[in-house]
Chains A and B, each alone.
Chain A
Amino acid sequence: MFAYILKRLIYAIPIALSVTVVSFILVYLAPGDPLSAIAPADAPEEVIIALRSAYGLDQPVPVQYGLWLMRAVQGDLGLSIATGREVTSEVMRAVGNTLLLAGFAALIGVIAGCLFGALAGYRHGSWIDRIATALSVIGVSIPHYWLGLVLTILFSIWRPWFPAMGAGPGGSSEWLWDLEHFRYLVLPAVTLSVIPMGIITRTVRALVADMLGQEFVSALRARGLSGVAVFRHVAKNTAPTVLAVAGLQIGYLMGGSILVETVFAWPGTGFLLNTAIFQRDIPLLQGTILVLCMFFVVLNLLVDILQPMIDPRMGRA
């Protein structure tokens, strides 16, 4: 097991490296000059040149990348061009907020998805199945910024139960685990949870329906195991696949919330990314993309390690 984890960790290194290359290069492929955001339009030539060398933008791109990577490894992602604050601390604060939002959305999505999926799988072909399938298709198809707006209209304007914007009193830096702050979390989290819920519902439904038709489930019943005990077996057999799908979805949640975070003005990475793009804040953009990509790498690594712990047939080789 230890050797397996080590192997997975080593495999993750080249992936992580290519991620840094892509997140660095991609930004250069985008049009626009970062200096236009800080220097006045009529700035004299020598000021522009001075700024350019101050930010290291006069160096060849590979050199810039090398320097950037060296510092990034040490946790220093440079200074934001727009605000002059440290990118690392900006990103980390946003990451905290996004994790909170994504975690809560994932919780809703995974729990509801597993529940609906299992119900639909057990009652394959019944009206419960049809409702669950319809809901999951709708969930996956609806644009979630639109859903966010509709939920805002319904539950913070028409029935003002939940606030529509921000992360509560104290803004982005002072999250507290109390009801007051929690209310700010509800609408964006529900909005975000709809897509993973739909995908997980469909996955679990297909897996459970397939599992119930398998010989070993008949054999479990033939042994006199109760319905609950049989369900435990079915659950453990479906878990590795559900885990892989859920892991991927949670990964999307971590970075895919630009639109929802913007709709709800939630101070997370998506919001930050949006700001960075519009301000051409290259260090901030690179840093945010890098951190988000690393989430995917780490999450996939976790799933890879967890899966064979549940299903003994996987891994080991």
Chain B
Amino acid sequence: MTTPLLTVRDLSVQFHGNRVASALNQVSFELGQDEVLGLLGESGSGKSVTLRTLLRLHPARSTRIQGEIRVGGQDVLALKGRALDLYRGGTVSMVFQEPGLAFDPVYTIGRQITEAIRAHESIDARSAAARALQMLEMVQIPQARRRFDAYPHELSGGMRQRAMIALALACKPKLLLADEPTTALDATVQIQILLLLRELQRETGMSVIFVTHDIGAAVEVADRIAVMYAGRIVEQQPVDRIVHTPRHPYTEGLLAATVGPEHRGQPLRAIPGSPPDLAALPPGCSFAPRCAYVSEQCRRDRPPLLAADDQALACWHPVRGLVEAA
């Protein structure tokens, strides 16, 4: 890989409230130009926290961030003031899970996109509005001119998410963060949005981090998938391989818990138990209490994330060893 666009090294995030919750624990990964990374995991595994940390959206007073984030050579955690504003939305932008909640309800869609463009470029209002309209057309919103003057509550969910994508791409970011962009939508609309995202990614050549708990959606858009559990990346593989040769017991469990036509008539195989309390993580492997292959070592020592070629794994007893399949 050439110099990666995004480097995350030993990133840890703690939220300080009544208790200290360790939402991210020494997460490291890289992302190349033009690459789509799928971040997979269940609720509370740290997917969204990772994205929000990349944009520095957590309240500074109650959040402790350690580690390093670099985007195109920029030290993200050191950004301040105007430089941070320009980075947000300009270099890295985000599509939120609930498009209904992510727009300001009292401004029109067009006005919000125009405003975002003008926050990043010295451009007159008329040209900015023209470009905003162009963006709405690019995300295939029918009757874009009419929607331009619509308020967010006047659009359907799918339409709103398209507008959200238009807004996110308006300043030509190098990296797009998509935080479960299809979770809040109807099944048929989900597919349209996924296809749109994939198409736009190919057209613009931007990199994308796509967060989801839906393996099907991840497989549809991602080049590579990283599986997160309890604030850690536990496994990473190119998408075509992870489906067939999962190595981490958790990944295996996730894959087994998906439903397909071939599973008709069989009971759904769920992973037993629930994710650990982030304020009281066990000393060893976080997945140990739910794991079928658990040993004494798992409960005692935390398995390190070992990387080899284009894959990585943190497990003492992988379903398949790294070397064996490589």
The reply to whether chain A is a binding partner of chain B is yes
Given contacts A222-B55, A223-B116, A237-B106, contact A215 B88 (CB under 8 A): no
Interface residue from B57, B86, B93 paired with A218 (Cβ < 8 Å): B57
Instruction: Say yes or no for A134: interface residue by CB 8 A criterion.
Output: no
Q: Would you call B85 and A226 a contact (CB within 8 A)?
A: yes
Which B96-120 residues have C-beta < 8 A from chain A?
Answer: 96, 98, 101-107, 115-116, 119-120
Q: Shortest distance in angstroms between A306's beta carbon and chain B's nearest beta carbon?
A: 14
Instruction: Say yes or no for B153: interface residue by CB 8 A criterion.
Output: yes
Q: Shortest distance in angstroms between A227's beta carbon and chain B's nearest beta carbon?
A: 9
Q: Shortest distance in angstroms between A233's beta carbon and chain B's nearest beta carbon?
A: 5
Instruction: Say yes or no for A229: interface residue by CB 8 A criterion.
Output: yes
In the complex, what residue of chain B is closest to A239 when comparing beta carbons?
Answer: B106
Given contacts A214-B101, A224-B171, A312-B151, contact A229 B115 (CB under 8 A): yes
Q: Would you call A215 and B105 a contact (CB within 8 A)?
A: no
Q: Shortest distance in angstroms between B107's beta carbon and chain A's nearest beta carbon?
A: 7
Q: Would you call B120 and A224 a contact (CB within 8 A)?
A: yes
Given contacts A215-B98, A229-B115, contact A224 B89 (CB under 8 A): yes
Q: Shortest distance in angstroms between A317's beta carbon and chain B's nearest beta carbon?
A: 13
Residues in A neighbouring B107, C-beta threshold 8 A: 233, 236
Which B32-76 residues have C-beta < 8 A from chain A?
Answer: 52, 55, 57
Q: How far is the CA of A237 from the CA of B87 in the complex (A)?
A: 26
Residues in A neighbouring B167, C-beta threshold 8 A: 223
Q: Would you call A236 and B102 a contact (CB within 8 A)?
A: no
Q: How large, as a class, is the contact surface on chain A?
A: 20 to 34
Q: Shortest distance in angstroms between A155's beta carbon and chain B's nearest beta carbon?
A: 40
Q: Would you call B86 and A216 a contact (CB within 8 A)?
A: no
Q: Would you call A236 and B106 a contact (CB within 8 A)?
A: yes
Q: Shortest distance in angstroms between B15's beta carbon and chain A's nearest beta carbon?
A: 14
Q: Type the 1/0 row for A211-222, where 1 means its CB is closer than 8 Å to any CB of B.
A: 000111011111
Enumerate 29 A-B pairs (CB-CB under 8 Å) in ascending A order.
A215-B96, A215-B102, A216-B102, A216-B104, A218-B52, A218-B57, A218-B96, A218-B102, A219-B94, A219-B101, A219-B102, A219-B104, A221-B55, A221-B57, A221-B88, A222-B57, A222-B88, A222-B89, A223-B89, A223-B119, A223-B167, A224-B90, A224-B119, A233-B106, A236-B106, A236-B107, A237-B104, A237-B105, A237-B106
B residues at A contact (CB < 8 Å): 52, 55, 57, 82, 85-90, 93-94, 96, 98, 101-107, 115-116, 119-120, 151, 153, 167, 171
